[in-house]
């Protein structure tokens, strides 16, 4: 898909001088003008003309491949059961589930009495999204008595949500409307008030407010205001619904307060004052707090404390070098530890008065992804679990606490057909350049694929915030695998795939490990004859898009195609601008280049936008969202403009900007799937795999 004489000329963005001086260094940013100074409003005619010109260029370049895009889309759609529903789950006096109707983009939410009765439609996303280019339901919260439902939604991708309340007995909407929320909606025990948080001017929740039903929103009481500009505030409830939890923190430090759920205007109780670098979360049972914290081990421990003396923590389960405790869930008669050992998920059920009751849950495969599913009730005789692997479709289990048996409730159905025995999955460890660390990669490919270096390979990674890309199942990737491609996930440092230390080894001053690991995984797969240089397509989104930017600068010869989704590539300019929505909260992850010259120099040494040079770059498809508050649209726009002006070859370079969406791209089942089809068509045509 190189530039063709039949195509119009590619857009060329003006270069307009703009310089910034920081730590004695002058930074030139000739595409600074692509940032609309009235953002989040984007109405500058020059900017919109350029973005639209890039979209037209994308459309023209993809037009010859429209048939392949449609083929891929229909394949992907054919693997999705159109009329589908979730496994019903009891919560109080009701059983809840969601359904997709045939052909529908969005869900419908239902419930029926647990004692028996007719289904009740409680929320219709299809109707709410009708006529809208974008729609996303953010929160749905049922009052403790089951009579009221609070929910919030976004219809432009900006992630500023409007909250409403519905009477479920009558179906009527209450007059209460809360615009601009960015939080959970948490009911008080009295069923007459909701706690929520508003987004501030920098798209951050720094507050908790109490809304009493029927009262003007302007009268809502401010319960908490966070003073640290880098912290964000979340709201939740303990498992027994006794306390409302207000948690504030950034990417490395947290602080928790408790409020009685039946008296939210009471003084808040601090569990333990914030300590830089210490994270913790809290639940409660019978006056005892259960605390999940990394205070004395990076892989976390579980501690207990009395509600009356919440800061006096006593170890219940110590931290371990081998077992990374990822979650703690409290129930009436037992608690559940979720952990990861050697990259593999573990789920342990433990009694309060006995060491193991019934102990670790055993799953049927050697390599898998497993964890707790929807378990809304404090007392549950059965635990709902989710399970999958790279060859096993999503499976919903109930685990019977009394018998220790797994009961299969639902296996993801693939209408067009799927035979797991025709696919192979592998977990391979590949050497990093430091000579000491092995970097894992998860692979899936079709049986019979030649492992002689001739197979094309698609390599995916994220590698930030301790977020793991689990080796789970995907129906969309089958469109690559069934065409003879190997699909691989690089479990690079910066994620927590191999424990908390794995994450810490890829952040701030260790960030380059993430990029090096990705390149080393690719080279390791080449050395093992899974593929060859130039036969590898690569993909990453958001912070994973940053990885794509760095590795295309550093090793462009390895890649046959690049998918960079909403990529965080203008790192320095974003991290020095504390007026941007996420910047202050991001400093613990990346470093603060405003106050720390070493952090500035290090960041500048890898920032993809700042390190574009005159070389041959691989074919690239870059995506953006005009309303994206996480990675602002101008980052990918500036990057593409600089690449086009600087590179010395004419490989395909496409920018697709969603004009009515945000960070997640198009909403709805089929809109998002069509974007996947476009991206895979780009990969297949660039690699010459067009069957």
Q: In angstroms, how far is CA 290 from the centroid of its own chain?
A: 27
Could you identify the residue written with the tokens 């608690």?
A: 335
Angle of helix 512-527 relative to helix 543-554, nearest 10 degrees?
A: 60
Q: How far apart are CA 54 and CA 60, in angstroms?
A: 10
**Torsion 42-45-47-49 (CA) sign:** positive
432 catalytic, yes or no?
no
Contacts of 51 (CB under 8 A, 6+ apart): 626, 633, 637, 657, 659
Beta bridge partners of 330: 335
Closest CA to 302 of 314, 312, 311: 314
Is 211 strand, coil or helix?
strand
Closest CA to 622 of 661, 654, 663, 662: 654
Q: How far apart are CA 265 and CA 284, in angstroms?
A: 20
Q: How far apart are CA 656 and CA 569, in angstroms?
A: 16
DSSP 362: P
663 catalytic, yes or no?
yes
Q: How far apart are CA 506 and CA 495, in angstroms?
A: 7
Q: How far apart are CA 515 and CA 439, in angstroms?
A: 12
DSSP result, 390-438: SSS--EEEEEETTT--EEEEEE---TT---GGGEEEEEEEEE-TTSSPE
User: Which residue among the candidates 542, 607, 623, 667 is catalytic per the annotation?
Assistant: 542
**H/E stretch holding 350:** strand 344-351
Cβ(330)–Cβ(284) below 8 Å: yes
Q: How far apart are CA 214 and CA 12, in angstroms?
A: 55
Is the omega angle on the peptide bond into residue 392 within 30 degrees of 0, that is, cis? no
User: Which residue among the candidates 211, 458, 491, 663 is catalytic per the annotation?
Assistant: 663
Long-range contacts from 335-342, C-beta under 8 angstroms, 24+ separation: 335/285, 335/290, 336/372, 336/383, 337/302, 338/371, 338/372, 340/468, 340/496, 340/497, 340/498, 340/499, 342/498
How far are the Cα atoms of 115, 162, 384, 513 from residue 398, in angstroms, in the given order?
20, 35, 5, 40
Beta bridge partners of 221: 210
542 catalytic, yes or no?
yes
Closest CA to 344 of 440, 487, 437, 461: 440
Opening angle at CA 400, ends 396 and 406, nearest 5: 45
Structure tokens at 87: 């496994």
Cβ(513)–Cβ(493) below 8 Å: yes
Is the omega angle on the peptide bond into residue 358 within 30 degrees of 0, that is, cis? yes
Angle of helix 669-687 relative to helix 66-78, nearest 10 degrees?
A: 130
Give the catalytic positions in this structure.
542, 628, 663
């Amino acid at each position: 898909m190189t530039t063709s004489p039949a195509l119009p000329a590619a857009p060329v963005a003006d270069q307009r001088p703009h310089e910034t001086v920081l730590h004695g260094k002058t930074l030139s940013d000739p595409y600074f003008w692509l940032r609309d100074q009235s953002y989040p409003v984007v109405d500058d005619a020059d900017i919109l003309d350029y973005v639209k010109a890039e979209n037209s260029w994308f459309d023209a370049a993809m037009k010859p491949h429209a048939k392949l895009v449609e083929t891929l889309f229909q394949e992907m759609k054919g693997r999705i059961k159109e009329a589908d529903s979730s496994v019903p789950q009891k919560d109080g006096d009701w059983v809840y589930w969601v359904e997709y109707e045939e052909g529908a983009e969005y869900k419908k939410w239902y419930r029926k009495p647990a004692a028996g009765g007719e289904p009740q439609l409680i929320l219709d996303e299809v109707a709410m999204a009708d006529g809208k280019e974008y729609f996303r339901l953010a929160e749905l919260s049922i009052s403790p008595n089951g009579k009221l439902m609070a929910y919030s939604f976004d219809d432009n991708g900006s992630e500023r949500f409007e909250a409403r309340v519905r009477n479920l007995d009558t179906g009527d909407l209450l007059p209460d409307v809360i615009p601009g929320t960015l939080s959970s909606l948490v009911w008080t025990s009295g069923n007459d008030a909701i706690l929520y948080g508003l987004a501030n001017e920098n798209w951050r929740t720094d507050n908790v407010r109490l809304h009493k039903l029927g009262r003007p929103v302007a009268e809502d009481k401010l319960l908490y205001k966070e003073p640290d500009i880098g912290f964000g505030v979340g709201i939740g409830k303990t498992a027994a619904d006794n306390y409302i939890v207000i948690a504030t923190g950034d990417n490395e430090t947290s602080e928790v307060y408790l409020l009685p759920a039946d008296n939210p205007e009471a003084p808040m109780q601090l569990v333990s004052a914030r300590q830089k670098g210490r994270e913790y979360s809290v639940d409660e049972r019978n006056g005892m707090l259960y605390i999940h914290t990394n205070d004395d081990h990076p892989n976390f421990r579980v501690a207990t404390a009395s509600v009356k003396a919440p800061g006096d923590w006593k170890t219940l389960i110590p931290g371990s070098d081998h077992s990374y405790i990822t979650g703690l869930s409290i129930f009436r008669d037992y608690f559940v530890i979720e952990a990861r050992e050697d990259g593999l998920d573990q789920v342990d059920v433990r009694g309060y008065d006995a060491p193991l009751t019934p102990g670790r849950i055993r799953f049927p495969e050697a390599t898998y992804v497993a964890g707790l599913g929807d378990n809304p009730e404090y007392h549950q005789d059965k635990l709902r679990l989710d399970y999958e692997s790279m060859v096993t479709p999503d499976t919903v289990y109930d685990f019977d606490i009394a018998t220790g048996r797994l009961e299969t409730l639902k296996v993801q159905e693939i209408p067009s057909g799927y035979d797991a025995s025709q696919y192979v999955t592998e977990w391979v460890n590949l050497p990093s350049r430091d000579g000491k660390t092995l970097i894992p990669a998860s692979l899936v490919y079709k049986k019979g694929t030649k492992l002689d270096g001739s197979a094309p390979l698609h390599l995916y990674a994220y590698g930030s915030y301790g977020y793991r890309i689990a080796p789970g199942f995907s129906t969309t990737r089958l469109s690559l695998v069934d065409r003879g491609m190997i699909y691989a996930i690089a479990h690079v440092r910066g994620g927590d795939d191999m424990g908390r230390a794995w994450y810490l080894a890829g952040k701030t001053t260790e960030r380059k490990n993430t990029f090096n690991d990705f390149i080393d995984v690719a080279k390791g797969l080449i050395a093992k004859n899974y593929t060859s240089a130039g036969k590898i397509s690569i993909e990453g989104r958001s912070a994973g898009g940053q990885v794509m930017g760095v590795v295309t600068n550093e090793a462009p010869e390895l890649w046959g195609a690049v998918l960079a989704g909403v990529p965080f590539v203008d790192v320095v300019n974003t991290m020095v601008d504390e007026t941007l929505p996420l910047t202050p909260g991001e400093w613990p992850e990346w470093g603060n280049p405003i106050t720390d010259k070493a952090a500035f120099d290090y960041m500048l040494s890898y920032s993809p936008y700042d390190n574009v040079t005159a070389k041959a770059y691989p074919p690239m498809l870059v995506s953006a969202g005009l309303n994206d508050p996480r990675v602002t649209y101008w980052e990918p726009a500036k990057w593409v403009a600089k690449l086009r002006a600087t590179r010395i070859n004419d490989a395909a370079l496409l920018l697709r900007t969603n004009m009515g969406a945000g960070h997640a791209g198009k909403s709805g089942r089929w809109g998002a799937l069509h974007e996947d089809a476009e991206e895979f068509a780009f990969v297949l045509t660039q690699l010459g795999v067009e069957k």
